[in-house]
Amino acid sequence: MSAEDKIPLSVAIITKNEAANLPDCLKSVSFAGQVVIVDSGSTDDTVKIASSLGCDVFVEPWRGFGPQKQFAIDQCKNPWILVLDADERIPEDTARAIREVVLSSLTAAQGFSFPRKNYFQGRWIRHAGWWPDRLVRLFRKGKGHMTPAKVHESVEVDGAVAQLAFPIEHHTESSFSQILLKIDHYSTLGAEEAFREGKTACICSGVLRAKLAFLHNYILRCGFLDGRQGLTLAITDSINKFFKYAKLAELNRQATKKQ
């Protein structure tokens, strides 16, 4: 796509070891006038790929999801900003909708939300809260910012937020080895956040929350309708819940010993 075809939109993406995902992600936003990549120490070809495809690349130490994405937003130069993850894609229909928003002089909203189609092991997951999974991702520069949370971060917009009908596609991690690493990482962040908020837990509460999470997602929210993928996701979420509260209990014990 030529420079004349690009629109005044900046895309903000944070990365670490995303060489497998990044090319397709960047291809899907080739209509954007700027792509900002903030990398937190990749050991694969992530930075090389981003640089070769004309992205503005910044290498920064990890500071948590919210602060890291906010740093990426702060580097954006265009009037509109789209926040994207490296394992997400913008389909053609969605790209056309974004183009209309950015180029229209009649756009009143300060931000826009999208439904998100989550794919796991090749299947579009439609139950257990995975669809429509609507998220605010597009906003005018200066009108949107990330919440400071180090996990479960989101975009907050100062002003009206409108809904777009076209989705973002999310191809979530499908490798079991990588899923286990992700569970370890996210459960640690969740436990640390809960500990800072003064919450307490024990192993028994971790077991109870894991059981409730499985029943909630697989039975009450109809995760069983998503086949083996739905079962796998219900199990992995319950495991994540257990380790989050088990790690919180461990932090509580360590704090008590120091007193």
Contact 150, 189 (CB under 8 A): yes
- Confidence band (pLDDT; 50, 70, 90) for 258? confident
Q: If we measure between CA atoms, which residue out of 20, 24, 229, 224 comes closest to residue 124?
A: 229
- Residue 169 β-bridge partners: 89, 117
Contact 13, 25 (CB under 8 A): yes
- pLDDT, one tens digit per residue, over 129-159 is 999 999 999 999 999 999 998 888 999 999 9
CATH superfamily of this structure's domain 3-171: Spore Coat Polysaccharide Biosynthesis Protein SpsA; Chain A (3.90.550.10)
d(CA 249, CA 196): 13
Contacts of 48 (CB under 8 A, 6+ apart): none
Q: If we measure between CA atoms, which residue out of 62, 65, 59, 3 comes closest to residue 34?
A: 3
Mean local confidence (pLDDT), 94-101: 98
Contact 196, 152 (CB under 8 A): no
Q: What's the half-sphere exposure (Cβ side, CA atoms, 13 Å) at 62? A: 12
Q: Helix, strand, coil proportions of the chain in percent (round to 5)?
A: 45, 20, 35
What was the pLDDT predicted at 217?
98
Q: What is the pTM of this model?
A: 0.93
Over 90: is that where the pLDDT of 5 sits? no
Q: If we measure between CA atoms, which residue out of 215, 220, 212 comes closest to residue 244?
A: 212
- pLDDT, one tens digit per residue, over 77-87 is 999 999 999 99
- Confidence band (pLDDT; 50, 70, 90) for 259? confident
- Map out the domains of the chain as residue ranges: 3-171, 176-258
Contacts of 1 (CB under 8 A, 6+ apart): 30, 31
What was the pLDDT predicted at 1?
67
